[in-house]
Chains A and B, each alone.
Chain A
Amino acid sequence: MKYICLGYINEKAWGSASEDEQKAMMDECFAYDDELRKNGHFVGGEALQGSQNATTISWRNGNVSVTDGPFAETKEQIGGIMILEATDLNHAIRLLSNHPSVRLLREKGCWEIRPAADLTMMIDESERRRKL
C-alpha cells in the first residue's frame, strides 16, 4: 500500500539554523532516503521550494484567480512530500519514525501520513459512463 507523507516545516526556524547544522541534517536525511530506495520503500518524493514561491489557483467570482502565497498562512508549511510503499500503517509509521528529519527537526517540523486513496473502481465506473 502507498502512503503519502507530507513533511511540514517551520520555515523561519529552519532558516535560522546555521549552515553547518543544515548540511549535517541533509547528509543524514539523504543517506536514509537512499536506504529507503535500496529497500524498495521509496516510491517517490520531492522537496519543495519555500512557501514564498507558492502560487495559489482557485475559482473566484466566476473566474480563475491566481494569487501569491500558499493556500493557508500557517507557521508550518509543507516542505516536502514522500511516497512510501509499506505493508500497513504500522510499517509506514516505523519507516518514517526512523527518518532522521523527525529527530533532527524536533519541534521545527512534523510528518503527516495519509494512505493513497484507491480510485480504481471510481475510474472504471467513470470510463463506463463516458463511453455511453
Chain B
Amino acid sequence: MQNSPEYIRQLLSDIYQKESRPVFATLIRLLGDFDSAEDALHDAFKAALEQWTENGIPSSPRAWLISTGRFKAIDRIRRQSKFNPLQIQQVRQMEADTADPSKQIDKEIEDDVLRLIFTCCHPALALDTRTAMTLREVCNLTTEEIASAFLATSSTIAQRIVRGKAKIRETKIPFEVPQQHELPDRLGTVLQVIYLVFNEGYYASSGATVTRVDLSSEAIRLGRLLHDLLPSPEVTGLLGLMLLHESRRPARTTAAGDLILLEDQDRSLWNRDMIAEGTSLVEQAFLSKPPGLYTLQAAIAALHAEAKNAEATDWAQIAGLYTLLLRINPSPVIELNRAVAIAMHKGPEAGLLHIEAILERGELKDYPLAYSARAELCRRAGRTGEARISWERALSLTQQDPERRFIERKLQELGP
C-alpha cells in the first residue's frame, strides 16, 4: 500500500535521515533561531505523518517540510505572543515575507547547510562548544552519543550546546557564510573542529581502546559534506588526510588492541580504495600554491601510503614537507616528526641531534611520544642505557593503556 501508515512511517524515517539537516538549516534562516527551527522541524515531520497518509506524498517532500515547518512556527509564535508586541511584529514580518520557501532552489538550501556549519564553528565559540554543536546540529548526533564518544556526561555536552545557542542568539552571531576575504580564517575554525572529531575517534585521548570508529567516520562524512559544498584546497586536503589515516585503521592495532607502529604494520591490510581516493584528493589540493596545513600533512600521509615498507619510504621528501609545515605552523610536535624523518633518512644520530635540541627547550617535557622517539633512536644507535631511561620517562607520562603496554614490551626487548 502506497499510503499505508506503515509505508509513510518508513518513508519518513528515510527522509528524516537524508533531509532533516537541510530542512533544519533552512528553517533556522527563515525563523532566525535554532530552538524555533528545531520545534518547527519536529512539527513538520509530525504533520507529514498525519497528512501524507490522507492526502498522498507531496512531489517535493523537502519543500513541503520547510513550508509546513515555517507555518507551524508562525502559528506557535502567534499563540504564545498574544500580549507581546515584539513577537506580534515578528509574526507580521514573517508572514509578509512573500518568498515561498517551497520555491527555493536546492542551491540555496545547500547554502543554508553551509551557513549552519559556519555558525556552529564560529570562532567566538569555544572549541569544545563548536565541536559539540557541530556534532549535534550538523551531524544530528544525540547529546548522549556525543557524550559517550567524548567520555563526558550528557549534561556537560547538553550544557555546552545550550550555552553555544545562547551566545549565538544573544550576541547576534549571524547565520551566514563568511565573506570571501574572511573565508581562509573562518574555514580554519571549521576544519579544526572536523579534524579534532576525527582524531578523537582515531587516537582516543584516554581510556581502554585506541580507536572509536564512530567519531572518525562521522568526521569523514562531515568532510565529504563540506567538500561537496565548498571544495576549497584545504577542505580537499583535510578530506584526503583523514582518508589516508583511516585507510591504516585495520593495521594499526592487534586483535588485543595493542598499538602497531607504522613501520611494523601489515601493509596488505591497508584499505586501497581509501588510499586511492585520498591520494587523488591530495594531488588536487596540491595544485593550489602554497599548499596549506592539511594538504601538507596529507601529502606526508600519501608518501607513507605509497611505500611498500618503511625502508622504501621517501623519507627525504617527508622531511622536506615537514620543513614546509613548520614554516606555516611552528610547533614542537611537527619538529619532532621531522627529526624522526631525518633519522630515517640520515641515520639515528642525525635525528637524535634534533630531538635533544627540542627536549632542551622544554616544550615537550611532558609529551610521552618525544621520549618514545628518543628511546627508539637511542636503541638503534646502540645507546641502550639511554634508551632505557627514555622509555621509562615515556612510561611515566603516558595515559593510554595500549601505549603503556607498548612501552613495557619495548623495555622488555631491551633486555636486562
Nearest-neighbour CB distance to chain A for B334, whole angstroms, equals 23
Nearest-neighbour CB distance to chain B for A63, whole angstroms, equals 36
Query: Could you tell me if B176 and A115 are in contact, using CB atoms closer than 8 angstroms?
Result: no
Which chain A residues border B171 with CB–CB below 8 Å?
89, 115
Which chain A residues border B172 with CB–CB below 8 Å?
1, 88-89, 115
Which chain A residues border B176 with CB–CB below 8 Å?
90
**Chain B residues packing against A (C-beta within 8 Å):** 122, 124, 170-174, 176, 178, 182
A residues 1-32 near B (Cβ < 8 Å) are 1
* Chain A 101-132: CB-based contact to B (< 8 A → 1; otherwise 0): 00000000000000100000000000000000
Residue from the set B170, B171, B178 with the largest chain A CB neighbour count within 10 Å: B171
Size bracket of the A interface: under 10
Which partner residue on chain B sits nearest A120 by CB separation? B86
Query: Could you tell me if A115 and B173 are in contact, using CB atoms closer than 8 angstroms?
Result: no
Which chain B residues border A94 with CB–CB below 8 Å?
182
**Chain A residues packing against B (C-beta within 8 Å):** 1, 87-91, 93-94, 115
Which partner residue on chain B sits nearest A86 by CB separation? B172
Nearest-neighbour CB distance to chain B for A42, whole angstroms, equals 19
List 4 tightest A-B contacts by C-beta distance, closest first: A88-B174, A88-B172, A89-B173, A115-B171
Which partner residue on chain B sits nearest A93 by CB separation? B124
For B124, give its contact among A1, A89, A91 (CB under 8 Å). A89
Which partner residue on chain A sits nearest B170 by CB separation? A115
Query: Could you tell me if A90 and B173 are in contact, using CB atoms closer than 8 angstroms?
Result: yes
Which partner residue on chain B sits nearest A3 by CB separation? B171
Residue from the set A1, A89, A93 with the largest chain B CB neighbour count within 10 Å: A89
Which partner residue on chain A sits nearest B172 by CB separation? A88
Task: Report the separation of the CA atoms of residues A93 and B189 in the bound assembly, to the nearest whole angstrom.
Answer: 15
Which chain A residues border B122 with CB–CB below 8 Å?
89
Which chain B residues border A93 with CB–CB below 8 Å?
124
Which chain A residues border B174 with CB–CB below 8 Å?
87-91
Task: Report the separation of the CA atoms of residues A1 and B171 in the bound assembly, to the nearest whole angstrom.
Answer: 9
14 example contacts (A-B, Cβ-Cβ < 8 A) are as follows: A1-B172, A87-B174, A88-B173, A89-B122, A89-B173, A89-B174, A90-B173, A90-B176, A90-B178, A91-B174, A94-B182, A115-B170, A115-B171, A115-B172
Task: Report the separation of the CA atoms of residues A12 and B28 in the bound assembly, to the nearest whole angstrom.
Answer: 47
Task: Report the separation of the CA atoms of residues A114 and B172 in the bound assembly, to the nearest whole angstrom.
Answer: 11
